[in-house]
Amino acid sequence: MAIGVFDSGLGGLTVLEAAQKRLPDVDFIYLADSAHAPYGVRTADDIYNLTTAAVQRLFDAGCDLVILACNTASAAALRRMQEGWVPEGKRVLGVFVPLIEAMTERQWGDNSPPREVAVKHVALFATPATVSSRAFQRELAFRAIGVDVEAQACGGVVDAIEDGDMILAEALVRSHVDALKRKMPHPQAAILGCTHYPLMQDVFQQALGADVQVYSQANLVGESLADYLTRHPDKMGTGTSAYLTTGDPKRVSDRAVQFMRRQITFVSA
């Protein structure tokens, strides 16, 4: 049985790669909804409808577990999906919770009441849809009290990365960090709330300063998934992966090679 990894574009490949390294015996199917990317500027209903359609495609391909490796989908659609859509015997997980657990120094599945934590001032960089959902703040409030979160909607960054224009992406990141620091001059930690942003992690770190702890999701999600699989060993396979896209497979494959610096071949979903 394969594990599905879904993203609106290529950003989720950072999560998939970390999961593949951490779990070499697991089969994965990656689905990029490239025809409808980016999600970050869409309405919540639109994101929900697109996400459920994509996850159903992965269920139909044999996945019992799907990771929403897309912060926008996790923020705007996951809770609604879990409350009224996910079929019996299937499971859909997001990417926010592992990151928040790491930041608040909690173990996986620790559902004890919220408590004070060391970090008091947190910068959140994410897409406009993720920021407007306030999903990060909601999930954080379940686990910590007294944390001030300043969110910065990073318009244009995902598009620049997907287009392979890293010079523009870097300029946009620095501009967004400057805007955030005008609102919160001294953040203690920064959350890269989009799976595209790990490719810009060094730029974020330089712009924020060496004293700011930058949290990126890929490795944290990989560790969380590994923890989950220790309790569900039936999910192990042979380590194969498939890559599906709703867009033009050749164009998406070419972008993926630029994105990940290795050969990745997509086929039509």
Full domain range(s) for residue 76? 3-95+218-268
> Quick one: pLDDT at residue 67?
95
Per-residue pLDDT of 172-225, as tens digits, reads 999 999 999 999 999 999 999 888 898 899 999 999 999 999 998 887 888 888
pLDDT in tens, 25-53: 899 999 999 999 889 889 999 999 999 99
244 near 31, Cβ under 8 Å? yes
Same domain, 211 and 230: no
Q: Do 72 and 146 share a domain, yes or no?
A: no
DSSP string, 146-210: S-EEEEEE-TTHHHHHHTT-HHHHHHHHHHHHHHHHHH-SS-SEEEE-STTGGGGHHHHHHHH-T
What token pair was written down for 238?
A: 């042979």
User: Residues annotated in the binding site for substrate, as ranges?
Assistant: 7-8, 39-40, 71-72, 195-196
Arithmetic mean of pLDDT, 140-160:
93
Query: How do beta strands 91-93 and 144-145 pair?
Result: unpaired
Residues 263 and 179: their CA atoms lie apart, in Å, by: 36
Residues 212 and 227 in one domain: no
**Residue 121 and residue 193 in one domain:** yes
pLDDT at residue 222, rounded to an integer: 81
Instruction: Tell me the longest C-alpha to C-alpha distance in the chain.
Output: 50
Going by the annotation, the residues of the binding site are 7-8, 39-40, 71-72, 195-196
Q: Are 19 and 127 in the same domain?
A: no
Number of domains in the chain: 2
Last residue of a domain, one of 194, 217, 240: 217
Which of the following is catalytic: 70, 161, 203, 221?
70
Among the listed residues 194, 207, 220, 229, the single catalytic one is: 194
Q: Name the token pair of 104.
A: 């608040």
d(C-alpha 131, C-alpha 71), whole Å: 10
The CA distances from residue 5 to 29, 154, 161, 178, in Å, are: 6, 23, 19, 33
pTM: 0.86
CATH value at residue 135: 3.40.50.1860
Task: Give the residue-averaged pLDDT of 123-152.
Answer: 92
Q: Is 2 helix (H, G, I), strand (E, B) or coil?
A: coil
Q: What is the mean pLDDT of residues 107-123?
A: 86
Active site residue 194: yes
Burial of 248 (0-12, 13-18, 19+ CB in 10 A): middle
